Amino acid sequence: MHDPGVSDRNRVARVLWALLALVVLASVLTEFGRTLAGVGEDPEPLGTRVVRFWSYFTIQSNVLTFLAVLPLVRDPQHDGRWWRPLRLTALLGIVVTGLVYAVVLAPTDHPVGLGVWTNAGLHYVAPVAALLGWLVLGPRPRVTWSTVGWAMVWPLAWIAYTLAHGAVSGWYPYPFLDVAALGYATALRNLALVAVLALVLLSGFRLLDRRLPRTGVIRAA
pLDDT digits (tens, 9 = 90+) for 43-59: 789 999 999 999 999 99
- Amino acid 4: pLDDT: 56
Express each pLDDT in 188-209 by its tens digit: 999 999 889 999 999 999 999 9
Regarding pTM above 0.95, the answer is: no
Q: Of 177, 157, 176, which Cα lies nearest the Cα of 167?
A: 177
Q: How far apart are CA 171 and CA 167, in angstroms?
A: 8
Helix H or strand E segment including 87: helix 83-100
Q: Of 124, 113, 166, 143, which Cα lies nearest the Cα of 214?
A: 143
Q: How far apart are CA 108 and CA 104, in angstroms?
A: 8
Given a contact cutoff of 8 angstroms between Cβ atoms, the answer to whether 106 and 87 are in contact is no
